[in-house]
Amino acid sequence: MKAYIFDLDGVIVDTAKFHFLAWKKIGEEFGFELTHELNEQLKGVSRVDSLTKILGWAGVSVSSEKFDELATRKNADYLSYVEKMNENDILPGVKTFLEKAKKENIGIALGSASKNARPILQKLGIISYFDVIVDGNDVTKAKPDPEVFVIAAQKLGVDNEKCVVFEDSEAGIQAAKTAGMKAIGIGSPEVLTQADEVFSGFDAILNQ
């Protein structure tokens, strides 16, 4: 048996832009301008690790109370964007690709750093496609550590070498490669240089 493991943000749905907007606002509070280039280093990275990086770039240190308050506020802001989403926000080709995989009896898992993964999949109406969901609530080590994908493969009962990971982040591609899985990049080949193959999206994969 073989399996597909999907990242969520930036792969299934374009929430990566909402994470960017919410972190940009937090950075601005410290006079720091988050660029798209630096934002690549936040993709796939946990909430806590993302905030640690931003504060480091801004050159500030805060108390642990302030840290928690910033992380909570960023998440509330992010969720205010997510609230307005519906199934029309699923990225092109994703649903057809999931349906095709189901018909071919390929195991389907989610491997995401997000603690909001389940409610987002529910909101998009596609949670039932997933045999296994591993998210930010289930892991102790964030991408680029392979833990999230290794747990997904174990839960599916599929060997790592038989798993194909779909990822939009450098950290996620690295995690998949470290796990011995095939890594398909969703995005640009200039950014996702370690991926086995890179596509602009699932429409492009379906039309290849």
Catalogue the active-site residues: 7, 9
63 has binding-site annotation: no
* Residues 6+ away with beta carbon under 8 Å from 20: 34, 36, 39, 42
182 has binding-site annotation: no
Closest to ligand BG6 by CB, 136 or 180 = 136
Amino acid at 22: A
Which pair of structure tokens corresponds to residue 136?
């930010």
Choices 53-61, 88-96, 107-115, 198-206; region in contact with ligand BG6 by CB under 6 A: 107-115
Query: Any contact of residue 43 with ligand BG6 (CB under 6 A)?
Result: yes
Q: Which residues of this protein are in contact with Mg ion, per CB under 5 A?
A: 7, 9-10, 168-169
Which pair of structure tokens corresponds to residue 65?
């109370």
Q: How far apart are CA 69 and CA 161, in angstroms?
A: 41
Query: Any contact of residue 51 with ligand BG6 (CB under 6 A)?
Result: no
110 has binding-site annotation: no
Cis peptide upstream of residue 92 (ω within 30 degrees of 0): no
Q: How far apart are CA 171 and CA 141, in angstroms?
A: 12
**Which residues are annotated as part of the binding site?**
7-9, 23, 42-47, 50, 74, 112-116, 143, 167-168
Which parts of this chain interact with ligand BG6 (CB under 6 A)? 8-9, 16, 19, 42-47, 50, 75, 112-116, 136, 169
